[in-house]
Structure 1
Amino acid sequence: MASNQNKTLGIMALVKRDEPRFPEKGYYQKLTEIGRKHGIRVFVFSPRQADFARRQVVGFEYHKGQWRRKLFPFPAVVYDRCFISASYRHYKPFIERLQKDPQVIFMGLGLSGKWEVHQILLQSPQLAPYLPETLPFSMQSFFSLLKRDGTTILKPAVGTHGAGVIRIDTSPTSYSIIGRDHRNQPFTRRMKTLAAVKRFVRRFTLGRTFLVQSYLSLHTPAGDPYDVRVLVQKNEAGNWVTTGKAVRIGNSNITSNLHGGGKAIPLAAFLNRYFSAEKRTAIEQQIDEIVRILPPFLEEHHGRLTELGIDIGIDTKGNVWIIEVNSRPGRSVFRLTNDRDARIRSVTLPVKYAQYLMKIV
């Protein structure tokens, strides 16, 4: 149990230098304000600024309209918002050392990668049928799927926001590659030979781990890609609850991620527009089954989790697929759909779950 002197929630982020330069400032500001109402002090810190000898950390606290740099004792609870990026390797040793500290509670352990999550979910008889065929990338696995299906997907094993996801299509006279580069910029290429495709794929995947995935027709009749984002979180009793569901629609590219310039609408409105009543019921039931089974199953095999963004695909025939699971989900989708209740829950529940952990651990 956290003492009254250390009812603190430390948001662990990739803070650059000794300045309050970090993403999601608006979200962290709201967490600070909610924490204050619950008697919890919230601050943002970099794991690289942890002094393990003195058990102190340099952090930033939002107060009276500005972020102030201060020295804090190690937080009672850590909320991990360290997004995987090229610089993550510099932070990883410090994060792992903090995770081993018996006096520090991590709200959740970040998922390590798409392949590891896929392997865990395959073990569930209920979830396995919802998983698209996925293989670790090699030239052999890539060309095998491309030859069999005529189209295949390449995606980074670790990454967010749709960056680095591409689709390769075969036609009688050429090959086309469409997707987003590693800076998340959309591009299209056309190539006449398989050798040219091979050279491009080798350069594109160099130095990073990729997955090969069977192509699914996850688009509207107009050709716009979309998926369903479901945010599930732990509540004040430590139980999984569904915060909200929304459909993200992309701009005629391969991914529907909002960072690529997409839009969002409520799930019910989307299903009403594109599916029959009978099909809508079946889709909603399958999504509910995934959302009920997946969080506790994944947590059982991975370790403690606090929230998950579950991305679900619905193909043109109405089949439901698990596309991706993210342990550091965003919540801007609920602002775009004007779902005020989901938006408030999404920023309130992390503080309530932190308070729950302070009481029971």
Structure 2
Amino acid sequence: MNVTQATKLVAAREIRVKLRDRTFLFSTVFFLLMAAAATILPPMLSGGPASVAVVEAAAGPLREAGLEVRTVPDDRAAEQAVRDGEVDAAVVSGPAVLAMDEAPDDVVAALSTQPAVRLLDPDAVDPVLAFLVPFAFAFIFFVTSQTFGVQIAQSIIEEKQTRIVEILVAAVPVRALLAGKMLAGTVLALGQIALVAVVAVVGARFAGSDGLLSLLGPAIGWFLPFFLLGFVLVAAMWAAAGALVNRQEDITGVSMPVQLVVMLPFFAVIFFNDNAAVMRVLSYLPFSSPTAMPLRLFTGDAAGWEPLVALGLLLVAAVAFVVAGARVYEGSLLRTNGRTSVRTAWRSRETIG
């Protein structure tokens, strides 16, 4: 049996086992519901402006409609109040309604005739979406890479602990064993994310959010290849961590570096998503680019060439970590006499399979 055939055999077995796992099925349903909520709820929850600036002579119909009216001396002051964020909309001579990023339907309806609506900042991202989208990207990558990564490590530890690995390496090349596990995890994780992307697109169409769909489309499209390479990078680290120990209870100690390099970018993207300079840096770092770059594409802050460069850097990093992880894996897989250090595994890799 050659390496390719063995890899497919191992991957097929791992996929069959995972598809029967209730935890995997539950997480998939959870992500699908989250994607649907993120695209359907914002349009449903978004309401009209709570306040409007207008000169006193035109304030009557707005007050009768129950809107919060702020009187200003002239149209110029009304427009400035909108730009400063003091009110949500303004009614000026024409008549015309001014708003920053969304037409205020309740203000328009309160006037006797429907005036022209001029958006002062038509390309602005809705504040609700500005929070939900970065959180969704970061959360999905973080949870998925952690969940599948831990499962790869636990599978390796279980085989070492039960000494099944000694039987496996006699029939299957070591590299094929590692490649099969990583391939299965990657296929399942990418399939899960692809389903999430489909649900997000369908949810946006269902909600009638064509503008939202045009914004999310490029971000989702880029998120898939970034997620793929980012997951491979993290999976290689989890596989190496799992091979270093022989008991499930020891995985916490060796996996701490892996968890940190996934957790820190997650919180960085969440807390600094409105900081253009920090997000620019994060979008090029391999561990944070899978979420930071799609987010910058969503907000329109990234030039067309930037995702290509970031994806190239991530590809180089993923290949390097796979090579390094495979070496540590091979050097520690058959060591069943306790925890193996990375240095020992690196130096004493055995030529098996």
TM class by shorter chain equals under 0.3
Structure 1 length as normaliser, TM-score? 0.24
Structure 2 length as normaliser, TM-score? 0.25
- Higher-helix-fraction structure: 2
Structure with the bigger RCO (C-alpha within 8 Å, sep 6+) is 2
